[in-house]
């Protein structure tokens, strides 16, 4: 995920100041009319509904660069959603190579760029993993390597059709996790404080008075380009102290009963806490165990849902062909757990999900409008250039926020309320 180039693209949105003023006005007035110029349907700004579920706290933590089959493809509990019998990948010389059990918890990083992901995808054949990334792409882990993660199945839901949002690398997928779209960006070449200014999930939360915080389990440098905290890439939140929470403040907020309604947890890439190769996967797993256990032991547990996902697949193999919802994805399937006292226990949820599903979940629980109803900047086109590899002409393909798509689930299927 580390980048080596300075920022090359600044995304400015027309009338950004008036948009922010309107959002603020909507929060103060609680009136649909205050935000009418931003949306296609005024009814979308109806006041949040309360009490439709017992969930009062949503925590979303995204680790890095692991595919579903790479982590759970040989788990005994996944059944037909795991690696098919006899599965192998072409070796490019007329033979084939089968997946194999990694003997080390730390393995080399492999390519997971837009180009590499598309070569692995190979037009839907899903047969380019070995020829693109070599033998490391076919390694997998088991319960012996991931005991805590495998134990989650006893009382949680594993999403077996959750795909990353884009056939591309880290930051574009994290833009979907924040805003439902990457605005056409397909590379890790656009970053920095305040480089974006279009609506994202934090705007909706602020507009309707929903409390939130971004907790960083280790703060990584933004200018250097190794941070996973993309929320500070948005102008309004570049220096908002709510984006600067720490692991310690998360644990303290749990102990003191002041966890916000929505939390995002960002484990450190630079310290190897996010499972990004070559990190030792037991370290990231141990961090998640600490965070989840602290939630279970807190007063917030009875009203919480913790979503543990991965931003993208890291180049690792997966047999399941991702549906293509638009020119950008979906990307390769990634592991995702829904952990809550209301999560279906020992359950495999087959609904189609992607990173925007977490936004839809937040929107539904707190009665918020969709980002698709307030962000029309990418409804008809996206920019072109070296960071916009889906573009083939004078303009790039559309990329409106996907929370407006009914084809994408909102995680509600994972619960028994």
Residue 95 is assigned to a structural domain of this protein: yes
Per-residue pLDDT of 61-100, as tens digits, reads 999 999 999 999 999 999 999 999 999 999 999 999 999 9
Residue 3 is assigned to a structural domain of this protein: no
Q: What is the pTM of this model?
A: 0.88
**What is the domain count for the chain?**
1
Residue 10 is assigned to a structural domain of this protein: no
CATH number at residue 286: 3.40.720.10
Distance (Å, rounded) from C-alpha 294 to C-alpha 203?
Answer: 28
Residue 7 is assigned to a structural domain of this protein: no
| Domain span including residue 33 | 16-414
pLDDT for res 29: 29
Residue 375 is assigned to a structural domain of this protein: yes
Render each residue's pLDDT in the chain as its tens digit; 417 residues.
Answer: 544 333 333 333 323 323 333 333 333 223 222 222 233 333 344 544 544 899 999 999 999 999 999 999 999 999 999 999 999 999 999 999 999 999 999 999 999 999 999 999 999 999 999 999 999 999 999 999 999 999 999 999 999 999 999 999 999 999 999 999 999 999 999 999 999 999 999 999 999 999 999 999 999 999 998 899 999 999 999 999 999 999 999 999 999 999 999 999 999 999 999 999 999 999 999 999 999 999 999 999 999 999 999 999 999 999 999 999 999 999 999 999 999 999 999 999 999 999 999 999 999 999 999 999 999 999 999 999 999 999 998 999 999 999 999 999 999 999 999
Per-residue pLDDT of 210-261, as tens digits, reads 999 999 999 999 999 889 999 999 999 999 999 999 999 999 999 999 999 9
The mean pLDDT of the chain is: 89
Residue 146 is assigned to a structural domain of this protein: yes
pLDDT for res 71: 98
Residue 5 is assigned to a structural domain of this protein: no
Residue 6 is assigned to a structural domain of this protein: no
């Amino acid at each position: 995920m580390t980048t080596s180039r300075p920022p090359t693209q600044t995304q400015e949105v027309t009338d950004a100041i008036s948009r922010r003023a309107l959002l603020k006005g909507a929060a103060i007035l609680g009136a649909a009319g205050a935000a009418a110029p931003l949306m296609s349907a005024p009814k979308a700004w109806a006041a949040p509904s309360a009490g439709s579920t017992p969930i009062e706290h949503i925590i979303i933590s995204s680790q890095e660069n692991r595919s579903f089959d790479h982590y759970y493809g040989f788990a005994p509990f996944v059944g037909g959603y795991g690696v098919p019998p006899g599965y192998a990948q072409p070796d490019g010389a007329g033979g084939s190579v089968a997946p194999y059990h990694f003997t080390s918890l730390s393995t080399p990083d492999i390519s997971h760029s837009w180009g590499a992901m598309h070569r692995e995808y190979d037009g839907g054949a899903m047969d380019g993993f070995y020829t693109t990334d070599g033998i490391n792409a076919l390694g997998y882990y088991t319960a012996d390597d991931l005991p805590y993660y495998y134990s989650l199945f006893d009382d949680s839901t594993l999403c077996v059709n959750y795909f990353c949002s884009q056939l591309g690398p880290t930051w574009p997928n994290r833009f979907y996790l924040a805003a439902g779209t990457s605005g056409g960006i397909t590379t890790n070449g656009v970053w920095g404080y305040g480089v974006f200014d279009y609506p994202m999930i934090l705007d909706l939360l602020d507009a309707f008075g929903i409390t939130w915080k971004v907790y960083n389990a280790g703060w990584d440098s933004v200018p250097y380009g190794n941070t996973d905290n993309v929320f500070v890439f948005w102008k309004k939140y570049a220096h908002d102290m709510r984006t600067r929470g720490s692991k310690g403040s998360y644990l303290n907020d749990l102990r003191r009963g002041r966890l916000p309604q929505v939390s995002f947890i960002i484990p450190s890439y630079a310290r190897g806490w996010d499972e990004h190769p070559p990190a030792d996967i037991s370290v990231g797993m141990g961090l998640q165990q600490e965070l989840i256990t602290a939630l279970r032991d807190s007063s917030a547990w009875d009203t919480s849902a913790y979503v543990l996902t991965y931003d993208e697949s890291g180049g690792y193999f997966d047999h399941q062909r991702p549906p293509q919802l638009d020119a950008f994805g979906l990307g390769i399937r990634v592991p995702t757990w829904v952990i809550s006292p209301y999560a279906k226990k020992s359950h495999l949820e087959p609904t189609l999900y992607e990173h925007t599903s977490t936004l839809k979940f937040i929107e539904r629980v707190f009665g918020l409008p969709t980002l698709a109803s307030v962000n029309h900047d990418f409804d008809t086109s996206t920019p072109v250039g070296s960071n916009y590899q889906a573009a083939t002409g004078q303009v790039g393909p559309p990329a409106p926020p996907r929370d407006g798509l009914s084809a994408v689930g909102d995680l509600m299927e994972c619960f028994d309320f």
